[in-house]
Structure 1
């Protein structure tokens, strides 16, 4: 884990290429992005595969230049036949819908879903399950604390603090 300069990164493809350059032998690279304790994102790059992304608060991220990089049309369900409900991470995976009208996804005025979005299972093989990642992302959680908790669980907490 190291700090990387993101000044020349304009797209998710640029970010993925930068992560791949930092990798040895196509190993997995995790990119942590944190915006002023408002939201965080984890981008996972595995070799030449498409990046996997988890964003703690898509609506807040959409107001940031870094958020614009990771909130792709594909992730937001725009320009495809994908149903946005399939992309939005459910806060309570075990809850049953009592009212079918509540299936609609809450969105900000600009059409970006409020709350977590993306692949909450991207850290499972590192020992952080989807439920744990979601618990770190719920309203009231501090994004910086969540990233610290993730980095500590991955054994690189000291490195994260060094690059902050």
Structure 2
């Protein structure tokens, strides 16, 4: 089960809104959604969580590039919402690496088709797990100036988003959209 919310910092404190990510396909789409939540270009946090699996924090400050933290990249890679956050830059890959490797036909099969043994082997070892590290990735200092240290962020577990909201003084507003 997934949960996603926007927390926008305003002059009056934090405002939370439940958000639907069905129309979000890229990190750029997600950043635009966050910017719409704060017309004054204040800080907006996008909080995403897959229950028991992983959580992500995307911070958008005005027109600056989004800052991202994902608690478990390998778990997030198996999620459509997680894939939005796991950009090539975040994972330290060159943007065209995956496309170049997919285009190569070095196994001798015709038309790039794998034989039955290779197809079975490929099914046993998901590409996402081999290309994506297990554990946290991104900017662990994304919330440092808001009162959540890198150490605290990395130690969060089960109810991470609520713990983050409590540290920000926004637990009540987050609870209203949960």
Corresponding residue for 1:15? 30
Corresponding residue for 1:30? 45
Unaligned runs of 5+ in 1: 81-107
Instruction: Give the counterpart of 1:72 among 87, 98, 121.
Output: 87
In structure 2, the CA distance between the partners of 1:3 and 1:109, relative to structure 1 (3 Å rule), is: closer
Corresponding residue for 2:125? none
TM-score by length of 2: 0.70
Corresponding residue for 2:170? 156
1:52, 1:69 → 2: CA distance?
13
1:36, 1:134 → 2: CA distance?
17
1:133 aligned onto 2:133: no
Unaligned runs of 5+ in 2: 1-15, 96-127
2:130, 2:30 → 1: CA distance?
24
2:144, 2:62 → 1: CA distance?
18
1:57, 1:46 → 2: CA distance?
24
1:33, 1:146 → 2: CA distance?
10
Deviations 1:109-144, CA, capped at 9 Å, x for gaps: 4310100110000101111111111111xxxx31xx
1:52 aligned onto 2:67: yes
2:130, 2:51 → 1: CA distance?
21
Moved over 4 A (4+): none
TM-score by length of 1: 0.76
Corresponding residue for 2:131? 111
2:165, 2:129 → 1: CA distance?
33
Corresponding residue for 1:6? 21
Structure (1 or 2) with the larger CA radius of gyration: 2
Structure with the higher strand share, 1 or 2: 2
Q: How many residue pairs get matched?
A: 132
Following superposition, the deviation at residue 160 of structure 1 comes to 1.9
